[in-house]
Structure 1
Amino acid sequence: MWLFSLLLMSGIMSGCASNNAEERAEENNPANVSDPRDPFESVNREMWTFNWEYLDAYLIRPVTVGYVTVMPQFARTGLLNAANNLEEPANFANNLLQGDFDQGMDSLARFLINSTVGLLGTIDVASKVGIERQRESFGETLAVWGVETGPFLMLPGLGPSDPRSFTGRVADGYTYPNTVINGTYSIAAFAVSLLEARASLIDQEQQLENSFDQYNFVKNAYFQNLEFRVTDGEVGRQAVDTEQQQEDFAEFESLLDDEGEE
């Protein structure tokens, strides 16, 4: 199964918003091989070239463009809702394993409501009544338990990953109902999720193309997104708070300067 577009899209969208000056400097240095997160950089770069310049360019992107062109929006929404609904039992289990009982109950309620009233998940009734999706993976559960990511891996066909996340994705695949539903249906649902993820990435492609070193750009974005998800957004909120404090301090300095001039 091809996870590359999903991981790349989520990493880029969160990473673009939170790159700091130090990370930009690292991105602009393709010769940097001292990153402790990436001991296999030379091999990973070869895999990145294969994934992005060949697999995506000649297969994944054309298929995605065709899918978006042919499939009506209402049908796309329904298929994606159904695919997301299959993940709710894993969300339920992982929320409980992380000690988030309330969010776990939300995931269970979403699965029961959307699988019945929502016509096998094609209609997201749960969101309409205020029960939001609480997405959690087993990789994030391992992180909460103190397991480190391990080395960065650019897997052929699978894209950016790490041992902890890869193990988590495998474990999530063995949760109900994935273990009992028809294999063809499971593959179709998974393919829909990936196509929609790749479709979301199309608008972000220019940012990737404009980066000085695409490989480092994606790697940094991947780890930022990983930390954001493991902390349930706390990293992003802290960054926003820090930026707001800096703006407030700048306004305070400006006020002092004005008073001094008077």
Structure 2
Amino acid sequence: MGIVIKSVVPLLAVGCLLAGCATAPPQTNKAAYQAYQEQNDPLKPFNKASYHFDNVLDTYVLRPVAIGYIDVTTPGIRRHVGEFMSNTDAPAQLLEFMAAGKPRDAGTTLVRFLVNSTVGIGGLFDPASALGYHPVYTDVGLTLAGYGVPQGPYLYLPFAGPSTLRDATGIPAAIVLNPTFPAPPSTGLTIFNYGSDALSVVNTRAELHGTISNIKKTSLDPYATFRSLYRQHRAAELKDINKRDVATPPAWYSAAQRKAMMHDEYDSTN
């Protein structure tokens, strides 16, 4: 997961050289050409090689570890671990919401971080939700999407999983925006970072165990299924942000003007 941006481009270049890029069918074959465009997966040979690598790693390492983790924990413990990990991401998400021009979500993120970090014992519990400040999510890829940056081709990175060229920029950004990044290096900090990263991976894999197992058992092409689900999930996340963080008309506007503004805001998010 510790991938910096300068390593992404060489990785793609090597992948294309070794595995080759998918060749587009002739435009005369309209059905095949349309399907190729909809897939938006010109790096498919490299992506599938990365997927198969991760699948082997998952089969022989992550899945057994996740099953053992499930056996020794309860759903409640896994939920609290997930809440703790989400809380550590809050400072980065606060900056990302501010950069995206989403003041409501930025405010919600700030309140959640302050409340959950104190009353919630470092984020292990989520008292902020009980106060009406429910979880919100964003990242660099969604921020760029809000500014109209296209997602680019589908990209499957080893260890990092499904992504797109736009979303892959969030990997190094997440490292830089991590609250521990500016801290002076130390043995304790290194152990904490590696430990929390490992716990986050195992906890997430455990939470998705049923879904992943079902896809691998029932899908004729798990690679294509994961690709489709990733795109649907990202589109839903962006839609939720746009619907949730609409502008508030000034109080001195007339009722008719406020109603019209809210109607326009709602229409623009659909």
- TM-score, length-normalised on structure 2? 0.69
Instruction: Verify: 1:219 aligned to 2:221, yes or no.
Output: no
Using the alignment, how far apart are the partners of 1:192 and 1:102 within structure 2?
A: 31
Superposed CA RMSD: 2.5
Structure 1 residues 128 and 151, CA, compared in 2 at 3 Å: closer, same or farther?
A: same
Do residues 148 (structure 1) and 150 (structure 2) align?
Answer: yes
* Alpha-carbon spacing, 1:209–1:34, altered in 2? closer, same or farther (3 Å): farther
What are the Cα deviations for residues 20-44 of structure 1, in whole angstroms up to 9, with x where unaligned?
Answer: xxxxxxxxx9xx7565611111221
CA 227–72 in structure 1, closer or farther in 2 if over 3 Å, else same: closer
Separation of aligned partners in 2, 1:128 and 1:222: 30
- Partners in 1 of 2:44 and 2:64 — Cα distance? 28
Amino acid at match of 1:164: R
Q: What residue identity is the alignment partner of 2:52?
A: T
Cα distance, 1:148–1:79 mapped onto 2, change above 3 Å: same
Distance 1:34-1:176 versus aligned 2 partners, 3 A rule: closer
Q: Which residue of 1 aligns with 2:57?
A: 55
Preserved CA contact (<8 Å) 2:215 2:225: no
Where do 1:44-123 residues align within 5 Å? 44-52=47-55, 54-123=56-125
Q: 2:43 & 2:168 partners in 1: Cα distance?
A: 16
| Matched position secondary structure for 2:82 | helix
Amino acid corresponding to residue 44 of structure 1 in structure 2:
N
1:108 Cα shift? 0.5
TM-score, L = length of structure 1: 0.71
Q: 1:136 to 1:169 in 2, by over 3 A?
A: same
CA contact (8 A) 2:50 2:156 kept: yes
Q: Which residue of 1 aligns with 2:201?
A: 194
For the residue of structure 2 that corresponds to 1:77, the secondary structure is helix
How much does 1:166 deviate?
Answer: 1.3
- Secondary structure of 1:47 counterpart: helix
Partners of 1:82 and 1:97 lie apart in 2 by 24
1:233 CA displacement: 6.9
3-state DSSP class of the match of 1:185?
Answer: helix
User: CA contact under 8 A between 1:95 and 1:101: conserved in structure 2?
Assistant: yes
**1:232 matched residue in structure 2:** 240
Give the CA deviation at 1:183: 3.0
> Which segments of 5 or more consecutive residues in structure 2 lack a partner in the other structure?
4-31, 184-188, 244-270
Higher relative contact order (CA 8 A, sep 6+): 1
For 1:176 and 1:59, the matched residues in 2 are separated by: 27
Deviation at 1:169, TM superposition (A): 2.9
Helix, strand or coil at the partner of 2:156: strand
Deviation string, structure 1 residues 61-80 (Cα, Å, up to 9, x no partner): 11111111123444433322
Greater Cα shift, 132-141 or 155-164: 155-164
Aligned to 2:254: none
Q: Aligned partner of 2:121: which letter?
A: L
Cα separation, partners in 2 of 1:234 and 1:95, compared to 1, 3 Å: closer
